[in-house]
Structure 1
């Protein structure tokens, strides 16, 4: 006699609107209506969407603070054949949002994971940016501290693909000035604010011009911001990377500055005069 196979629930990863409540699929609405529980990053935020579509499904909190504990609770419910939908505050879950742990747990326990595609701010932004969409990399939020921002963009200097970034209105000018210092003033960039919302703004220009433009009116950079930056198109030129500067910094502790520059240029096969001018210009001697 065959042993009866135990039924398991399904975990749905449901994309929700970024800002405009109408940016949701029929399938997503159907799933949200029929699952046993909706696990939401913010209950109050998600209730606005549920009320708009008259969805009465039970809702539970699932955020960065309680993700680990709630993942085990959700797993137990899935094992007893309950279906659960994960939603973030906006867009596609797991992109800078909680959910990675429970998805891994589901794969480990052979529980079906079903993505319900829809809105994603990064994809919406790059599709409207006017910058190459053939190859791109998503880097998420720009770090808060200046040194970490510099490290990030020194490491991205050689990146040929289009770069997608997120930033807040409070830090946008600081970050743009650091990007300009490292990438140069002429790198193409598209500034996208409040995508899909009433105050949606899309501005493609060069970095130095963007800084001047947003300084003219504080309202221009209030809200949720994405930056789409053109990849490096001048890779035939040798550039000063973060690793080169770190090598120089270490060698300078043991050698005279001129000797440290010569040694660094030989280690990284870069022109010593180019390196010297950069260090002098940025007062790193």
Structure 2
């Protein structure tokens, strides 16, 4: 009987030591970073797919079930998920993942956001974010800041694996710094381009690429004929021949511009991990963006 009790205690200890921190993220970019920092100590799933616009996910019942079991919810913040995330948090009945609780990490809280709108903000300005541009995970430098904060959060929740998280973060940090150096050597700064939305602002700013204009007249507002005429005029006058369209937006407007400017180059790019078959992780995602800017 004594041996049986010892065996049961050891078995329970072994099971407990193998238990993973259950993490739910709102985007695949966050999921990839959590996986790289957490390693075998975490299980991670992303609510949004890499091909979906995280502004407009449907608050599915299946999401509430996933959040109900989560030890940690990692989201972007800055209003990106405000249309759907609060609904599924309430539905999950998991108090530990609510704002300010131990099981919640909002990445926008620890990075400096770009403010692209000045003065009083109203719905007439489109789908704006008063807190700032929420697409900061496309900046390698800011992704590194987020990774460090995730390391600290995982260490708080799962202190027995702190050394593992520290080691994984150091590896991630070295790889990211190397990637930034590599990208700066291949991306030609000073170029002016057109994008569909301001999703790429952080990435482009980091490498010295300028967004001359966007195809949306206002954030979240479909392109109008008058706005497109203005964009075409600017492109002709300033010799801009590159349009970059984020993968979850319609490229038909860019193709329409190409009928007026024959030599314009259109690149459809992923803006999230698994946004296409080559963007398998955060590093290859940055490579895909660099490739589009070189072409």
State the structure with more CA Rg: 1
Which protein has the bigger strand share? 1
TM-score, normalised by the number of residues in structure 2: 0.32
TM-score, normalised by the number of residues in structure 1: 0.33
Which protein has the bigger helix share? 2
